[in-house]
Amino acid sequence: MTATPRAMPAPPVHDAPVIDIDPFSEAFLADPMPYHERLRETAAVTILQPYGVYAVARYDDVHRALTDWQGLQSAAGVGLANFTHEEPWRAPSVLLEADPPRHDAPRAVLQRLLSPRRLQTFAAQWRADADAIVDDLLTHGREFDAVTDLAEVFPLRVFPDAVGLGEDGREHLLPYGDFAFNAFGPQNRLVTEAQQRIGPSVTWVGEQCRRDRLAAGSIGAQIWEAADRGDITQEQAPLVVRSLLTAGVDTTVTGIAAVLRAMADRPEDWRRVREDRSLLPRVFEEAVRLESPVQTFFRTTTAPVEIAGVPIPAGEKVLMFLGAANRDRRRWSDPHVFDLDRDPSGHVAFGMGLHQCVGQHIARLEAVSVLDALLDRVVALESAGPERRHLNNTLRGFESLPMRWTAA
């Protein structure tokens, strides 16, 4: 008697196609645009084969995922790791990696301290600092590196002062932020190499979050005062300060560099903005739409959800491609072009909804201060050599942006 062959189980059926794209490969990070196009055009929702996670790259679907905090939570981690069964590398953020009600009080404190009205108290000093930095820069010849000579220098001067940090150790802020954003990805080379040297920076940042390290009257000191009033707990206060130090420098550096890159080699746009400074806010918004300094964030489904009609089970990681959404032709005409006449409102470079970046007004004020100072002194800005990208699992920035200026 011949045995009947055992039937193999049918492969799982997904409404979302499986796609062999690794968004944390160095090839992807160096040039994500072709991969973004493939993700957008394959389907509204895909499954990334290397990690078994769901992904959305079209504007409407990314926007929907960002704004549904009930169905797509942040508390399980906004990176690849799932905090429901994986240990985070540090205590989770009380802002980025928390949902209501735990998220509400810390965010309310920072929203009050970082509102556009409150930040205007820094505007004159930040503009004076921008003037001084640009004046010094222009004494060193007609060529400079927009990243190392300007985009990094300015935030590292003004932001730590505002938070209330001392002068010593500020060099730890950039590598710490870089590592924190890298850690949202897998344990790839970018993470493992940084792990070998990041210890002193982690220790330093942790120490700066203490009440006794923060200057009186500073943003950091006012966070502790909020804890004294009972607005947040004493345990939350250092974590709120840490959130500022984690995301307050690297993202702003990439934002300033994005603005300078967008305006270089555009003499007509440069002339228009020199003559009409009311265009400065639009320059910033369009530049961050185009470059999307923060490229990706994850959410985790709290229950079965649907995105674009595609069912996603509970407990699944969903990767949102903010950079791809900001160049989706379904939402933007000529999305790969910097267009000074475009209305860039609605971009998701700072997220959207409940977890939208609470420090975005800092980035705006810093970038506008730098560009305004340059516009006063420079009639033209042009590329002066090949640019080099800085690879990071979450951020898209530059290692080097050589530029040449023509004096006013």
Choose among 353, 350, 372: nearest CA to 362: 350
Is residue 309 in a domain? yes
Task: State whether the Cα torsion 96-101-106-108 is positive or negative.
Answer: positive
What value does the mean pLDDT take over residues 117-130? 96
Residue 53, in any domain of the structure? yes
Residues contacting 302, CB < 8 A, separation 6+: 70, 71, 72, 73, 314
pLDDT at 242: 98
Q: Quote the pLDDT of residue 133.
A: 98
Query: Above pLDDT 70, what percent of the chain?
Result: 97
- How far apart, in whole angstroms, are the C-alpha atoms of residue 357 and residue 349? 9
In a domain, 8, yes or no: no
pLDDT tens, 8-55?
443 344 589 999 999 999 999 999 999 999 999 999 999 999 999 999
Rounded to a whole number, what is the largest CA-CA distance in the chain? 95
Q: Please indicate, yes or no, if residue 62 is contained in any of the structural domains.
A: yes
* Within-domain flag for 111: yes
For residue 253, being part of any structural domain is answered with yes
Domain, as residue range, for 380: 18-407
CA–CA dist 192, 294 (Å, integer): 21
| Residue 8 confidence (pLDDT) | 40
pLDDT value at residue 189: 98
Average pLDDT over residues 77-82: 98
For the domain that residue 108 is a member of, what is the CATH number? Answer: 1.10.630.10
Q: How many domains does the chain have?
A: 1
CA 33/CA 320 separation, integer angstroms: 15
Residue 9 counted as domain residue: no
List pLDDT tens digits, range 208-221. Answer: 999 999 999 999 99
Residue 385 lies in a domain: yes
Single out the residue of 366, 392, 376, 388 nearest to residue 145, CA to CA: 388
In tens, the pLDDT along 332-386 reads 999 999 999 999 999 999 999 999 999 999 999 999 999 999 999 999 999 999 9
Supply the pTM of this predicted model: 0.94
* pLDDT above 90 as % of the chain: 96
Residue 262 has pLDDT above 70, yes or no: yes
